[in-house]
Copies of this chain bind each other. A is one copy, B any other.
Amino acid sequence: MSHLTLALDAMGGDHGPSITVPAALQALHSHPHLKIQLFGLEQELTPLLDKSLPATLTDRISIHHADDVVSMGDKPSFALRNRRQSSMRLALNAVADGHADACVSAGNTGALMSMAKFVLKTLPGIERPALIAALPTEVGKRVHMLDLGANINCDSETLFQFALMGHVLAQQVEQIERPKIALLNIGEEETKGNDQIKQTAQLLLDSDDIHFVGYIEGRDIFTGNVDVVVCDGFVGNVCLKTCEGLSQFIIKEFKRRFKPKGWLKFLLPFVLPTLSRMLKGMNPDQYNGASLLGLRGIVVKSHGNADLKAFQHAIDEAIVEMERQVPKRIKDQLEAALLDKHC
């Protein structure tokens, strides 16, 4: 097996190199065919690569100095114009130049999206990349949802492309032959929804490639009955962030209700960690990274506040997408779908 090379924005996220470097080393340890390029301030990164590390690891990790860092407060347009020497930008450049196969960053989402689109370009026929992430379900398996905020206004053609990209990702990452694709709507009946949704449903029904199972409502996202949920970026973003908000609320409310209740408060240490772990999955980019699909390269976004384990998950996600050549497969499927349409 040939090597896979990952370009890592080592400065991104709230914790920067103190999380990204140990996570990188751990990934090299678990994946013998992986190489990692760390982008960031050399003087910060070098001390973190312990000289006592075995050569089998250090041979596969390299530091690529970047003078600048995209801050969390940078506007996408500002970052695009002014952060050309940042760790994020140089990591993306490495993918564009063919020196790396994927990029992982825990930095500013908007900036990453703009830079990725500018540097890597979208696949032929794709206007803007979409953000996809996986949520947990009642039956254990994950459900992939897109778009989570990259595209506010989506016509039916765009939503159809999201369905196709979600289809490919679920096929490759989850190894499901015919992933069940659903459109998020306000009811399951055919008559429900706005014009874009109805037109998208028709496009999906007409497609031979996609196993379209119809509309689902918000309450069905977590049942595990479907593999991919498609919606526009406004709805997806609000929906996901509401789940995060509700999770926070539940933890706080749970503490509030149990604390004053005499002996019941002694249950809290047994119950809260499980509840917290469960609800972490509701913050998918914290849990396993969110991917930007539709680009001519792989970009995985980890949560700014990701801990070691979460950042490792994001790296793992990038590795799976590299191994399965997700962008190439999306491109092939898009071409096939386009061909179908013209036949």
**A244–B153 Cα gap in the complex (Å)?**
26
Contacting residues, chain B, for A264 (C-beta < 8 A): 270
Q: Is the CB of B253 within 8 A of A239?
A: no
A309 interface hit (Cβ, 8 Å): no
Q: Is the CB of B152 within 8 A of A194?
A: yes
- Which of B185, B218, B233, B250 is A239 in contact with, Cβ under 8 Å? B218
Contacting residues, chain B, for A234 (C-beta < 8 A): 186, 193-194, 235
Name which of A223, A242, A244 has the most chain B CB atoms within 10 A of its CB: A242
**A191–B152 Cα gap in the complex (Å)?**
12
**A148–B100 Cα gap in the complex (Å)?**
46
- CB proximity of A314 to chain B, nearest CB, Å: 20
- Looking at chain A's contact residues, the main secondary structure is helix
Q: Is the CB of B218 within 8 A of A249?
A: no
Tell me whether A218 and B242 are in contact in the complex, defined as CB-CB below 8 angstroms, given that A149-B186, A254-B274 are known contacts.
yes
Q: Is the CB of A241 within 8 A of B253?
A: no
Q: How many copies does the complex hold?
A: 2
A278 interface hit (Cβ, 8 Å): yes
**A267–B271 Cα gap in the complex (Å)?**
8
Interface footprint category on A: 35 or more
A66 interface hit (Cβ, 8 Å): no
Q: Is the CB of A153 within 8 A of B194?
A: yes
A310 interface hit (Cβ, 8 Å): no
A136 interface hit (Cβ, 8 Å): yes
Interface membership of chain A positions 247-260, coded 1 if the CB is closer than 8 angstroms to chain B and 0 otherwise: 11110111001100
Name which of A191, A193, A218, A249 has the most chain B CB atoms within 10 A of its CB: A249
Q: Is the CB of B274 within 8 A of A245?
A: no
A238 interface hit (Cβ, 8 Å): yes
Contacting residues, chain B, for A249 (C-beta < 8 A): 136-138, 222
Contacting residues, chain B, for A257 (C-beta < 8 A): 274, 278
A279 interface hit (Cβ, 8 Å): yes
A79 interface hit (Cβ, 8 Å): no
Q: Which residue of B lies closest to A282 (CB)?
A: B246
Q: Is the CB of B245 within 8 A of A220?
A: yes
Sample of 5 further A-B pairs with CB below 8 A, known A186-B237, A217-B245:
A186-B233, A186-B234, A218-B244, A220-B245, A258-B274
Task: Give 10 closest A-B pairs by Cβ, nearest first.
Answer: A218-B241, A218-B242, A219-B245, A222-B249, A186-B237, A219-B241, A218-B238, A219-B244, A217-B241, A222-B245
